[in-house]
Structure 1
Amino acid sequence: MTYGLRVNYETGDVEDQNQLNYIDLQSSSPLAGHIPGFPNLVGGVGIPGLNGTSRQVQLPRGLHLDPRLGVAYQLNAKTVIHSGFGIFHHPLAAWEQYPNALGTTRTINSIAAQSDGVTPLFNLSNPFPSGLPAPYGNAAGLAIALGQNITGPLRTQDIPYQANWSFDIQRQLPLQLVVTAAYVGNVGVHLMTPIQFNQIPDADLSLGSKLISVVSNPFYGVIADPTSTLSLATVQYGQLLRPFPQFLNVKGINVGAGQSSYQAGQLTVEKRMSQGLAVLFGYTYSKAIDNVGEMTSVAGTRNGPQDNYCLACDRSVSDQNEPYTVRLAIRYELPFGPGKGLVNSGIAAKVFGGWSLGGFYTVDAGRPVAASSPNNSSSLGGGSGMRPNATGVSAALPGGPQICDSCLYFNTAAFTQTPQYAFGNVSRYVPGVNNPTAANVDTSIEKLTRINERFHVVFRAEMFNATNHVVFSGPTTSVTSATFGKIILSQSNAPRQVQFSLRLRF
């Protein structure tokens, strides 16, 4: 038995000139009480060290304890049981990032006039009609970037961690065989994901087209930044319903709101090298679930958070979920040459000896399919990855998926386009529908020639995807596409490749 305890304590990052920033969602805005109808405005850009506050971007969260336990027990001379458990916190340096120093830098975005959403405020003939804007300066504090998008980490952050556990039974069999059956599991807590905190509340989506109606702008004359749509006389009504109407998007990066789970059964059969033959076989049956998965940005990932108020609605099988995988590796040394049973002396031993064959066979069940429904998500101030609605019909075809120019890979009748000003109710990934299975065979042949005690020459020829097996790309997943539910016959894997190598070992 082995056991241990790791104790973690981290302070927040500090920049020498306090040029980093965080997102403050609670402090009173300098505009509070100065905008008709908005007496209690809060939020803005937080500057470490300003007005005597801590210079740390993130405030320390106390001690984090990571217990570890490993147990091995020998039932008899040929059977062993292993089990283990551990918790692992992710260090700050592994996940935190600072995309902008909003107090000391300035970015100009080309935006469309709020009145019609089309006419640009800037053009190539006069790209900076009001001149180049100067940095806001840290002293502006919560008044930094009013009327703009703001991005940064939260100051009080939940630290991500994982809990891993495993249990296996290992049995030695005749013929140099070892069989291992294992169960492994993992949960992730407070996983990093971006959150758009300035989304229009879900309760207001029922207002429909009124959200994009043009009304008088109460910030007109107060927010004077000419690069901001909030400096115009009119504004879309939906903007005034946002939690932080004095800003456009308020994006928290790497917010610890994600969760994941992984469970798998594993079978391994190993024939250890004997009589020139070694074989390793592995089979894994697993399921991975999460609510964040592939998200790398609030508005840049196809299957990002659809509704920032409901991350639980994004819980589904993970983008990494593969129901099963198969691995088979074989190496065989031909029985010729010195020390072997046949042709073990003379010139013939040099010619026929030292040859070995190798093969590696893999099968990966396809990853899940995600249906999408293009929508006016910008008017919702939400995330990305807009999804369709379910009709109540199964997406799986009775006869299984078909791959041909005119065949449906899944049942498109299971989906319908989501109406405007609403979020789709289909899960992030479609249950029971996976991309095509990928099978592959790699082979090799190797010749080892011993020149003397010191020098060896190794010739090796390899074929990758030796059978030239084609793996097709996944189906079209947009409900508005003419090819929705069909696979466009394009190859997603590499065709057969052959390579030769010759090296001198000494």
Structure 2
Amino acid sequence: MKKLAIFLLPLLCVFSAFGQTDRGTLTGTVTDGAGARIAGADVEVHSLATAQDRISKTNHEGVFTIASLPVGTYVARFSANGFAKRELENLTFDAGQTRTVAIQLALESVTSQVEVTAADSGLSTSSAEIGGVVHGSQAQDLPLNGRNYVSLVALVPGAIDSGTGTQDQVRFAGLSAEDNSWHLDGVDNSGINHQFQKVAIRLQPSTEAIAEFRANSTAYGADQGGTPGGQIELVSKSGTNNFHGSAWEFIRNDVFDAAPWGSNGSLPPLRLNNFGANLGGPLLRSRLFFFANYESLRQVLDQVVTGSVPSAAYRATTLAKSPSLFTILSQYPIGTVATNNPSVMTWYGSGRQVDHEDSGLLRVDYHVSDRMSAFARYSTDHYSLVSPADLTGSGFTTVETPNIVLGVQNTITSSLMNDARFGFNRAAFTQGETNTLPFSVVVTGFTKLDDATGSVRYDNSFSFVDDMTLVRGRNTIKFGATVRRIQENKASPSVADEIYTYTSPANFTSNVMDSDSYAGVVPLTGQRMTQSFGYVMDQFQMSSHFTANLGLRYEYFGVDHEVQGRGIIVDPINCANVVCPAGTQWYQPNLADFSPRLSLAWQPQIFARKTAIRAGFGIYYGNGQFGNLGTPIGNLATKYTLTQKQAPGLSYPTAPYLGAVSFSFSPSGSPINRRDTASNQWTLSVQNEIARNTIWQVAYFGNKTTHAFSDVTLNGVNPVTGLRPYAGYSTIDYRGFANDAHTHAFQTSLQRSINTGLLISANYQYSHSIDNGGLGGGEAVIPQDYYCHRCEVSSSDQDMRHYFSASSIWRLPIGRGHTLLSHASRTTELLLGGWQFGAIGTARAGLPLNVTMSRSATDLPDQLNKNQRPNRVVGVPLYPSNKTPGNWLNVAAFSAPPVGTHGNAGRNIARAPGLWQMDTSLQKRFSLTERMGVSFRAEAFNLFNVAHYGTPAVIWVAPTGNSVNPNNFGVITTSFNNNPVGTGTPRELQFMLKIDF
């Protein structure tokens, strides 16, 4: 085994790294009593969990560095000839943490003694990033509605969760969810097509298999990148010298839950069972360790389904005037509750949602020697979902996410260390629906009828990892490179997708169709791209109190292409004939993505090393969502858009109008001279150890993002000529990088370690994000007027001004070994010992609302009917005087623009309701033996049963004679979260039983 590791090491070293940001580093100086640096001092770091030792020596500057330390607790020992030995106890290392220590050795006395000192508080004195660590105790002991570790990511400074706690709703420093990097044990763990997983899987990995994770929000070092957003590094658990195991089950049942807001008191039947087991320990004591995890989820929910459907009177009128619409009308269920619009009724129904998920993880660690270690880890998650789709149909989704990593860490000399890894990540995804209609129908004012479209994809990424750390004088130099190969094999859509759009119930009655958009089946294709990154970073200890960290990163994202050369490249702006010549690269590569990073950290002596002042700046690049790079693939399908302009009299059925299809090809395009997203980020922060193991931080951070993702519609009708600029084409969806975004934020946090028995993590952020339609790498709003991008400048879609999150675990200090009743009897211990309280609190402001209106394309100057806004009525307040869920926005505050003009209302001028809630848990552990115990836990999510309101209707329709609000504009009809898990549910109870040893 040792020979095999030595053979593999040089091979792995030639490849890349995501940075050893899932491990810790100890660095610092050793001096004598006069402050003179001691060369050749011995440094030994001893792991309390595995009894493994790492050794090094100080160089001629008295500087030492020991890198690639697995997360955990250590004892550090320092010694030199003629000096008394010194130890640092309880030295903990979190994921990605660099601890800088200044060790002073006293002269050896006649009777030499070892001086034992408690470790320092862990102030961040080597970098300036805004971020934090979530420990395994938080992942396993805090009340999580859904048992998804992602719910904890928003507890990190700089992060916000704008939704219900899934990967696609977590954002950092004002950037897109597509700008985040998700890693597990140092290798890619993203969704590949998207950075996030396409569905809300909960056990990838299990919270019980997580040792801890770090999330860096902004201004992190040159060893991290690939995206400009948050860097989330998960670390799986490892085995130790003692066998440890546990088995558990969590149960939920609707009989313990409150009814959702807006459900008229009805409660969807729910059965949820979440069970699993862990086992870890030594295979060879102090050398070979293993850890295994399995967890399963079974959930059945009879979900409430509701929608707006045609009334009986409206059906009769429509069928009398347009009998050909019977096929469509018959698909709407019969309404049960009248609305203030005589044409619309509300329908309530139910559909069964069935979730099945099974995950597993196996990790083996091998301590080859005091200088070399290796590990291998395999994890996977298998998920399937069947749920209501549309008003009467059902949908299905399956996902499989196997992930593998092999790693070797080696201390080559006392001043040169290496960390090398290989990783494989896969996301196999299928999705579809079982609906009666072969097309979708959108009628403004009614709920959409969906078709049976779907997609199939098998996406892979291969990561080759290497980091090296070199100590020279006062410089600790870290350098590495990254190679990530991406394969995306997909057919999307795998079933033809067609949408018939009617802009009002009146147009539907008359069968006046505004548009028919069709996208045919795309054959199974294979996209390929290779990314290559490299960096060098120097941590320079200018003094024992001042550290500078200077780095330079280079990122080459490669060029996406199809493995068999398929694809139709469309770029009407840069290619003379709209379609680029065969053989053209999909886009030109960006070769100048150099990213300088600088941070300074100062511990003023006047504050007794209990305060750190930090500042940092960096440039961060990204190429956005991988799927958005593949527009040439989508053009392999038949695609067209018919409107009244191309096909006068367009109506259902559409067969008589398909002769106009040859003039209505509606492709997707992107600029062949595309630019990578660039984000300039800066921060200034002050950390202070206000009590033992308790750190308070005050920080400011900002970013300026250029070349953010943009999505516009081209080929509008020229109002003068009445013709489209590109003959033979209908609308062209053009995805580029033409937007800009800015964010400024004040952030403060309080962090207290669980070592004290009371863990506290509290964060507050006040921020403002502004953009002209794009957040970053993958989220953008199509402008209502292509020729007026400045008209879109507003608060970002994800501009959450106030965000507060807090968590706490309190192990009550009662019973044997604790402050109170430390010598309690067995009976007293049984009743009063082993209690633990946990809580998560969240409060956040509402997100912006973009008020739009439904118009006929012929009423617009360019006939591009995208996100059209009404006019704003001067002097009329935006909100009613008594704002309620049933009257959130003032319908009289808007008016219809004249024909041939765009609306003057600004984008995102209103706000949705905010949200606050408290989740709590109470746990009691009963000791069976010295090592074995049984725990029972009760959890209450949304303890105070706060009503969480959804988003009000924001499609404005002009009042008519028979209705003052024909489209329920400004009315909130649904709760914030219609699923039984995540943030924003009604009060729900969950119970746990666990045995551990």
TM bin, normalised by shorter chain, reads 0.7 to 0.9
Match of 2:772 among 273, 278, 291: 291
In structure 2, do the counterparts of structure 1 residues 146 and 484 end up closer, same or farther at CA, with 3 Å as the change threshold? Answer: closer
Q: Equivalent residue for 1:311? A: 789
Q: What is the rounded CA distance, in whole Å, between the counterparts of 1:113 and 1:377 in structure 2?
A: 9
Correspondence 1:117-266 to 2 at 5 A: 117-119=649-651, 122-123=654-655, 147-174=664-691, 177-201=694-718, 204=719, 238=722, 240=723, 242-253=724-735, 255-266=736-747
Q: What is the rounded CA distance, in whole Å, between the counterparts of 2:691 and 2:633 in structure 1?
A: 65
Q: Equivalent residue for 1:488? A: 972
State yes or no: 1:44 paired with 2:521: no
Q: What is the rounded CA distance, in whole Å, between the counterparts of 2:971 and 2:638 in structure 1?
A: 45
3-state SS of paired residue (1:25) = coil
In structure 2, do the counterparts of structure 1 residues 297 and 114 end up closer, same or farther at CA, with 3 Å as the change threshold? Answer: farther
Letter in 2 for 1:328: A
Q: What is the rounded CA distance, in whole Å, between the counterparts of 1:435 and 1:105 in structure 2?
A: 38
Q: What is the rounded CA distance, in whole Å, between the counterparts of 1:16 and 1:94 in structure 2?
A: 15
What is the RMSD of the two structures over their aligned residues, measured on CA atoms? 3.3
Letter in 2 for 1:172: E
Unaligned runs of 5+ in 1: 29-41, 134-144, 208-236
Contact 2:740 2:772 in 1 (8 A): yes
Q: What is the rounded CA distance, in whole Å, between the counterparts of 1:392 and 1:320 in structure 2?
A: 27
State the Cα distance separating 1:91 from its structure 2 match: 3.8
Q: What is the rounded CA distance, in whole Å, between the counterparts of 1:295 and 1:176 in structure 2?
A: 37
In structure 2, do the counterparts of structure 1 residues 148 and 79 end up closer, same or farther at CA, with 3 Å as the change threshold? Answer: same
State yes or no: 1:370 paired with 2:902: no
Contact 1:462 1:499 in 2 (8 A): yes
| Deviations 1:78-108 (CA, angstroms, capped at 9, x unpaired) | 2211122221111477464324547754357
3-state SS of paired residue (1:98) = helix
Q: Equivalent residue for 1:416? A: 895
Q: What is the rounded CA distance, in whole Å, between the counterparts of 1:152 and 1:163 in structure 2?
A: 28
State yes or no: 1:83 paired with 2:610: no
Match of 1:267 among 739, 742, 748: 748
3-state SS of paired residue (1:312) = helix
Q: What is the rounded CA distance, in whole Å, between the counterparts of 1:286 and 1:164 in structure 2?
A: 14
Match of 2:838 among 358, 382, 385: 358
Q: Equivalent residue for 2:904? A: 425
State the Cα distance separating 1:65 from its structure 2 match: 0.9
In structure 2, do the counterparts of structure 1 residues 295 and 69 end up closer, same or farther at CA, with 3 Å as the change threshold? Answer: closer
State yes or no: 1:24 paired with 2:541: no
Q: Equivalent residue for 1:225? A: none
Letter in 1 for 2:996: R
Q: Equivalent residue for 2:438? A: none
Letter in 1 for 2:883: Q
Contact 1:390 1:416 in 2 (8 A): yes
Q: Equivalent residue for 1:98? A: 630
State the Cα distance separating 1:404 from its structure 2 match: 5.5
Unaligned runs of 5+ in 2: 1-547, 958-964, 977-983
Contact 1:20 1:47 in 2 (8 A): no
| Deviations 1:219-278 (CA, angstroms, capped at 9, x unpaired) | xxxxxxxxxxxxxxxxxx63x1x221331112222x011111111101213344576333
In structure 2, do the counterparts of structure 1 residues 114 and 383 end up closer, same or farther at CA, with 3 Å as the change threshold? Answer: closer
In structure 2, do the counterparts of structure 1 residues 487 and 14 end up closer, same or farther at CA, with 3 Å as the change threshold? Answer: closer
Q: What is the rounded CA distance, in whole Å, between the counterparts of 2:756 and 2:711 in structure 1?
A: 56
In structure 2, do the counterparts of structure 1 residues 64 and 383 end up closer, same or farther at CA, with 3 Å as the change threshold? Answer: farther
Q: Equivalent residue for 1:116? A: 648
Letter in 2 for 1:149: S
In structure 2, do the counterparts of structure 1 residues 183 and 27 end up closer, same or farther at CA, with 3 Å as the change threshold? Answer: closer
Contact 1:443 1:463 in 2 (8 A): yes
Q: What is the rounded CA distance, in whole Å, between the counterparts of 1:127 and 1:452 in structure 2?
A: 79
Contact 2:631 2:670 in 1 (8 A): no
| Deviations 1:159-183 (CA, angstroms, capped at 9, x unpaired) | 1122222111112224764321110
In structure 2, do the counterparts of structure 1 residues 471 and 247 end up closer, same or farther at CA, with 3 Å as the change threshold? Answer: same
State yes or no: 1:72 paired with 2:604: no
Contact 1:11 1:59 in 2 (8 A): no
Match of 1:6 among 543, 550, 553: 553
In structure 2, do the counterparts of structure 1 residues 398 and 109 end up closer, same or farther at CA, with 3 Å as the change threshold? Answer: closer
Correspondence 1:377-392 to 2 at 5 A: 377=857, 380-382=862-864, 384-392=866-874
Q: What is the rounded CA distance, in whole Å, between the counterparts of 1:127 and 1:25 in structure 2?
A: 26
Q: What is the rounded CA distance, in whole Å, between the counterparts of 2:593 and 2:951 in structure 1?
A: 42
Match of 1:337 among 815, 824, 837: 815
In structure 2, do the counterparts of structure 1 residues 394 and 80 end up closer, same or farther at CA, with 3 Å as the change threshold? Answer: farther
| Deviations 1:295-349 (CA, angstroms, capped at 9, x unpaired) | 9999xx9x53211222221111011111111223232222322211334443221
| Deviations 1:21-55 (CA, angstroms, capped at 9, x unpaired) | 22232578xxxxxxxxxxxxx43222441xxxx4x
> Percent identity among equivalent residues?
26
Contact 1:294 1:304 in 2 (8 A): no
Contact 1:98 1:152 in 2 (8 A): no
Q: TM-score, normalised by structure 1?
A: 0.75
Q: Equivalent residue for 1:215? A: none
3-state SS of paired residue (1:158) = coil
- How many residues are paired up? 429
Match of 1:346 among 825, 836, 840: 825
3-state SS of paired residue (1:23) = coil
3-state SS of paired residue (2:783) = coil
State the Cα distance separating 1:286 from its structure 2 match: 0.8
Correspondence 1:426-445 to 2 at 5 A: 426-430=905-909, 433-445=910-922
State the Cα distance separating 1:20 from its structure 2 match: 1.7
In structure 2, do the counterparts of structure 1 residues 43 and 488 end up closer, same or farther at CA, with 3 Å as the change threshold? Answer: same
State yes or no: 1:452 paired with 2:933: no
In structure 2, do the counterparts of structure 1 residues 321 and 389 end up closer, same or farther at CA, with 3 Å as the change threshold? Answer: same
3-state SS of paired residue (1:259) = strand
State the Cα distance separating 1:61 from its structure 2 match: 3.1
Contact 1:373 1:418 in 2 (8 A): no
In structure 2, do the counterparts of structure 1 residues 389 and 452 end up closer, same or farther at CA, with 3 Å as the change threshold? Answer: same
Q: What is the rounded CA distance, in whole Å, between the counterparts of 2:930 and 2:826 in structure 1?
A: 17
Contact 2:849 2:908 in 1 (8 A): yes
In structure 2, do the counterparts of structure 1 residues 120 and 488 end up closer, same or farther at CA, with 3 Å as the change threshold? Answer: closer
Moved more, 463-472 or 105-114: 105-114
Q: Equivalent residue for 1:220? A: none
Contact 2:846 2:913 in 1 (8 A): yes
Contact 1:386 1:424 in 2 (8 A): yes
Letter in 1 for 2:944: T
State the Cα distance separating 1:387 from its structure 2 match: 0.4
Q: TM-score, normalised by structure 2?
A: 0.40
| Deviations 1:443-469 (CA, angstroms, capped at 9, x unpaired) | 001123343354343322111111111
3-state SS of paired residue (1:350) = helix
Match of 1:61 among 590, 605, 610: 590
3-state SS of paired residue (2:790) = helix
In structure 2, do the counterparts of structure 1 residues 106 and 402 end up closer, same or farther at CA, with 3 Å as the change threshold? Answer: closer
Q: Equivalent residue for 2:487? A: none
Contact 1:113 1:119 in 2 (8 A): no
Contact 2:640 2:667 in 1 (8 A): no
State the Cα distance separating 1:352 from its structure 2 match: 2.3
3-state SS of paired residue (2:900) = coil
Runs of 4 or more above 6 Å deviation: 108-113, 126-130, 294-298
